[in-house]
Structure 1
Amino acid sequence: MKFIKTTEQDSNHDHLEKMNILQLLEKINSEDQTVPQAVQKALPQIEKLVEIVVKQMKNGGRLFYMGAGTSGRLGILDASECPPTFGVPHDWVLGLIAGGDKAIRKAVEFAEDSTTQGWADLQEYDISENDFVIGIAASGTTPYVIGALEACNSNEIPTGCIVCNAGSPVAQTAKYPIEVVVGPEFVTGSSRMKAGTAQKLVLNMISTTAMIQLGKVKGNKMVDMQLSNTKLVDRGERMLMKELNIPQSEAKTLLEKHKNVRNALKAATKDGNR
């Protein structure tokens, strides 16, 4: 079957410049509503990938995201949010982008076209068979990602991907592919739109599910979150107040002493305050 990039097909809408603001917003929103349905169809693939991610991380491995452009930035975003949200080390989940950190803010021309740089970037982190690498590419054709996944496969490092076209080279290379086919974009070829939204949803699912499976959530609360601002300190106090049935003053004292909601809960339980 011939590979066709549906993300590059003509939009279902034309003469966009003739639409008023409300018409544009309504049609973009209408397209966006199809994305969760496309993600739902990929749940079996996502499940298989997360199972291996959890297995690898339980054995001391790390999770790597890598991509170019919007895809790379989304991976970095998800990776950067894991330490403050779940209290994990900064090297548990890592995001790499073609062109390096400067590409996060400004596009680096042709950086994604290298078939060797992705593997070189991974080697800087002493990548091993204990880790898991997810290539993110809306098109499913990014050389930077394909080259890295091929090298990982050759070195027995498990691989996955998140793509938005069916039967792409990236998906055929990854051992655990996730294909979320969102169809043509509102603005033809602008994969930062529906494809980017789909990738963000899947990344949320992967990291959140993995962290829950790794014991980083209690009940439905982020008990290991970093108390890095007033909002999060207040959230931590409210968690303790509800869980231990104590006033805010006591919750504040516990949190100040133990610096972490989980530790505060353990201490309070041990001391018979619960």
Structure 2
Amino acid sequence: MTKHTSITEQSSLYNDLEHMSTTAILTNINKEDSKIAAAVSKVIPQVEELVNALAVRFQKGGRLFYIGAGTSGRLGVLDASEIPPTYGMPHDRVIGLIAGGDTAIRKAVENAEDDTEQAWKDLEAYQINDLDTVVGIAASGTTPYVLGALNTAREKGILTAGITNNPGSPIALAAAIAIEIVVGPEFVTGSTRMKSGTSQKLVLNMISTALMIKIGRVEGNKMVNMQLNNHKLVDRGIRFIMDELHIDYKEAEQLLKNYGSVKEVLLAKK
């Protein structure tokens, strides 16, 4: 019996890539990329289910853990790392874990993703509990590191979700909420850092942004809790205050200096 080839491993719709002109390569990559948003739109109901359940737990003190290997793991780490500066959250509320540890963010760690026990050990280091949420990310839907963690977490009553690019995969079946983004075969066969990775990034953006909005870290359409740790962000904060309070730059700048954050200014002055 022939083994079924997963969508992410199916042959590219294009051939003889090495004979294409640069224009043809770029145009065809773009053609494939244009399919991603439509695929993501189909999983919005599942993302909604996750965000609603996650927000309830998060507001009770629960945390969000992303776990993955390779590109998927790096995307989880990236999304988690952007929450403190963007929304002023503590670093220990949204946490990205990658097979092989922090070394693997920059350099592949051999066989790290094949260990079915390590991810749960990594989660236990954070004293994971039933208020937390574990989101496993794997284009293939088969990564042992992710699968092991999801199985154990679900057994222990922890909310789980799986973001994959192959429908009906083991990770999708293991997770309580399956987010299956079917983007089709990659331009370079099996190179899931491309369409699959981009689709995962879009969904992670949706999860964390919607969560931060729902727990009150955004007002109107502004990041009022952002960390003001460079000139660009200070300037952005001043302009937020100008817009909200209808005052000039100098007055807004002084208020920001006095109160230390956009949020505190608006609480005091609105």
Superposed, which structure 2 residues align to 1:13-162 within 5 Å?
Answer: 13-162=14-163
Give unmatched runs, 5+ long, in structure 2: none
RMSD between aligned alpha carbons? 0.9
CA distance in 1, matches of 2:266, 2:217: 14
Q: CA offset at residue 247 of structure 1?
A: 1.2
Q: CA offset at residue 59 of structure 1?
A: 1.2
Post-superposition CA distance 1:190-246 (Å, at most 9, x none):
000000000000000000001000000000000010001111100000011111111
CA contact (8 A) 1:240 1:265 kept: yes
Give unmatched runs, 5+ long, in structure 1: 270-274
CA distance in 1, matches of 2:5, 2:24: 29
Match of 1:252 in 2: 253
Residue type at the aligned position of 1:193: M
Superposed, which structure 2 residues align to 1:205-244 within 5 Å?
Answer: 205-244=206-245
CA distance in 1, matches of 2:266, 2:249: 14
Post-superposition CA distance 1:49-103 (Å, at most 9, x none):
1111111101110000000000000000000000111111111100000000000
Over 3 Å counting, the alpha-carbon distance change for 1:3 and 1:85 in structure 2 is farther
Identity %: 58
Over 3 Å counting, the alpha-carbon distance change for 1:3 and 1:257 in structure 2 is farther
CA contact (8 A) 1:4 1:165 kept: no
Residue type at the aligned position of 1:75: G
Post-superposition CA distance 1:89-118 (Å, at most 9, x none):
111100000000000000001100000000
Q: CA offset at residue 155 of structure 1?
A: 1.0
Secondary structure at 2:236 match in 1 = helix
CA distance in 1, matches of 2:162, 2:88: 25
CA distance in 2, matches of 1:152, 1:140: 17
Q: CA offset at residue 3 of structure 1?
A: 5.9
Match of 1:200 in 2: 201
Question: Given the two structures, how large is their TM-score scaled by the length of structure 1?
Answer: 0.96
Residue type at the aligned position of 2:150: L
Secondary structure at 1:127 match in 2 = coil
CA distance in 1, matches of 2:122, 2:17: 40
CA distance in 2, matches of 1:131, 1:176: 14
More off after superposition, 152-161 vs 186-195: 152-161
Secondary structure at 1:70 match in 2 = helix
CA distance in 2, matches of 1:56, 1:161: 18
Superposed, which structure 2 residues align to 1:261-272 within 5 Å?
Answer: 261-269=262-270
Post-superposition CA distance 1:136-155 (Å, at most 9, x none):
00000000000001110111
Question: Given the two structures, how large is their TM-score scaled by the length of structure 2?
Answer: 0.98
In the alignment of these two chains, the number of paired residues is: 268
Over 3 Å counting, the alpha-carbon distance change for 1:77 and 1:184 in structure 2 is same
Secondary structure at 1:161 match in 2 = strand
Secondary structure at 2:82 match in 1 = helix
CA distance in 2, matches of 1:78, 1:18: 37
Superposed, which structure 2 residues align to 1:166-185 within 5 Å?
Answer: 166-185=167-186
Secondary structure at 1:208 match in 2 = helix
Residue type at the aligned position of 1:154: E
More off after superposition, 231-240 vs 3-12: 3-12
Residue type at the aligned position of 2:72: S
CA distance in 1, matches of 2:220, 2:245: 14
CA contact (8 A) 1:163 1:180 kept: yes
Residue type at the aligned position of 2:206: M
CA contact (8 A) 1:3 1:168 kept: no
Secondary structure at 1:219 match in 2 = coil
